[in-house]
Amino acid sequence: MSIEVHNLGPVDYLPTYAAMQDFTAARTADTPDALWICEHSPVYTQGLAGKPEHIFNPESIPVVHTNRGGQVTFHGPGQVVAYPLIDLQRAGYYVKEYVYRIEESVIRTLVHFGVTGHRVAGAPGIYVRLDDPFSHAALTGPLRPTDRFLGLGKIAALGIKVSRHCTYHGVALNVAMDLEPYSRINPCGYAGLQTTDLSTIGVSASWQEAADVLGQKLVMHLAP
């Protein structure tokens, strides 16, 4: 069964979150999988493990508590947010493999734009070398655990929820956005973690172009 792709465009976070929950609660064994691609107004979202001390100064940006995994992150204009709504039991793979496939989709999207994305053990999401994002050399292990983000910027954040083997929430890829709101939080719960986007590292891509590529890669890599 193929994944139905829906480009929602700019939408507020809360109604989209509610719609994902409703879709997942109502789906049956015959409901087609879906991929929702959208862009949100500025919002901080807290995961189940989220700690209030990781948000310093939200000012006018709302903070929404969610049921996804992970800590706090920021969504805003210029970021492609993708929500795969997948029946993992039907797809035939488990949560760990699902996360790997989403990360691989982001890595392949970055390759399309000439950028090398990296995984960091124990820290879901995708990172790039800030000094040379186009270098294809593999990351070497840090000398100390506290150095694992040294020289890296997070370009894609991931947070998921699985209910009755069905997924919602998803992944956010930073394309060309105002990164200032990240300075008001510990992104994903990591103090001092730098965030970046395609624009900052020298890639000129429109939101739609990045959304189209990421959507294609997710459909390909999340297939059963």
**Which residues are tagged catalytic?**
188
Calpha distance 223→46 (Å, rounded): 29
**Secondary structure class of 60 (helix, strand, coil):** coil
Q: Is 90 exposed, middle or buried (0-12, 13-18, 19+ CB in 10 A)?
A: middle
> Residue 99 belongs to what H/E stretch?
helix 95-112
**CB within 8 A of 146, min separation 6: which ones?**
none
Contact yes or no for 36/82 (Cβ under 8 A): yes
Q: What are phi and psi of 65, to 5 degrees?
A: -85, 130
Write out the E strands in 23-78.
34-40, 43-46, 63-65, 73-75
β-partners of residue 85 are 34
**Secondary structure class of 116 (helix, strand, coil):** coil
Q: How many residues does the chain have?
A: 224
Contact yes or no for 3/88 (Cβ under 8 A): no
